[in-house]
């Protein structure tokens, strides 16, 4: 049997323990069946090159950024800015008004209401293909494929149980390459048809379904290349399609006007 580090052992115990699920998430408001919230799920937390350099110099710990999850901090991150634009559009506002929306609604902050954020896989990396000696030591897996396969077997059932318990009004998955994973954790057995559209000549696609435990919408990445949601127009289009497919796809929190 392969010997793993104490750090890896702690990571595995935390990942498979349902009672410690929130330790592996970014934060926000889980909601409840009678006060449902919107959950935003990524593939894995981002970790920039600048963060890595600070970490190597002992000037910043990876966990530190998760403690301070204020909107003031989040607004500097491209992914979160796009998330705020999408939430604003789902709330009936222009996505261009995302700053006013974010500073009023305060998504994902500790003690805030209406929105929750997590990732399929809990460890942060600069790129989704990254894997190095530090990752091996921290997780005990030689490859990222082994790491993800193990998490699918132990973390995804935990994810499903928390979704079943809290019944979000909508789960938004970002990253079409993990469509099957987002469908699995929301109990969506049948793959929905792709909704394909063009924005400024660039083809984009998304999926939505209400056939699972909770409604789910799986979108392209919120920022990045021409096929992602990289414009206000694409955000408006996706929000309109979500609301058409899932009329209740809004948080039950007190709307901010």
| Helices 98-105/78-90 angle, 10° precision | 90
The pLDDT assigned to 49 comes to 40
What does pLDDT average to in each consecutive run of 10 residues of the chain (257 residues)?
Answer: 88 95 93 96 70 43 56 92 96 96 95 95 76 91 95 97 97 96 97 94 94 96 82 95 85 49
Q: Where are the domains of the chain?
A: 6-245
Residue entry with tokens 């890595």:
52
Q: What is the pTM of this model?
A: 0.89
Tell me which fold the domain 6-245 belongs to. Answer: Uracil-DNA Glycosylase, subunit E (3.40.470)
Residue 19 sits at the vertex; the CA angle it makes with 15 and 23, to the nearest 5 degrees, is: 55
């Amino acid at each position: 049997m392969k010997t793993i580090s104490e750090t890896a052992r702690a990571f595995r115990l935390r990942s498979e323990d349902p009672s410690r699920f929130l330790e592996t998430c970014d934060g926000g408001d889980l909601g409840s069946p009678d006060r449902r919230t919107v959950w935003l799920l990524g593939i894995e937390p981002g970790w920039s090159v600048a963060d890595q350099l600070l970490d190597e110099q002992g000037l910043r710990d990876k966990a530190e950024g998760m403690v301070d999850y204020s909107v003031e901090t989040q607004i500097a991150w491209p992914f979160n800015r796009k998330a705020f634009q999408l939430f604003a559009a789902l709330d009936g506002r222009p996505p261009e008004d995302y700053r006013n929306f974010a500073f009023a609604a305060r998504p994902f902050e500790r003690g805030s209401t209406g929105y929750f954020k997590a990732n399929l896989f809990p460890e942060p990396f600069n790129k989704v293909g990254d894997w190095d000696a530090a990752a091996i030591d921290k997780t005990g897996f030689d490859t990222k494929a082994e790491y993800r396969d193990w998490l699918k077997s132990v973390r995804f059932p935990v994810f499903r149980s928390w979704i079943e318990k809290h019944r979000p009004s909508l789960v938004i998955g970002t990253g079409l390459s993990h469509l099957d994973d987002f469908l699995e954790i929301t109990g969506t057995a049948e793959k929905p048809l792709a909704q394909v559209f063009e924005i400024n000549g660039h083809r984009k696609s998304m999926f939505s379904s209400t056939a699972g435990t909770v409604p789910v919408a799986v979108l392209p990445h919120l920022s990045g290349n021409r096929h992602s949601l990289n414009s206000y127009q694409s955000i408006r289009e996706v929000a309109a399609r979500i609301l058409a497919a899932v009329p209740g796809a809004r948080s039950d929190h007190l709307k901010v006007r």
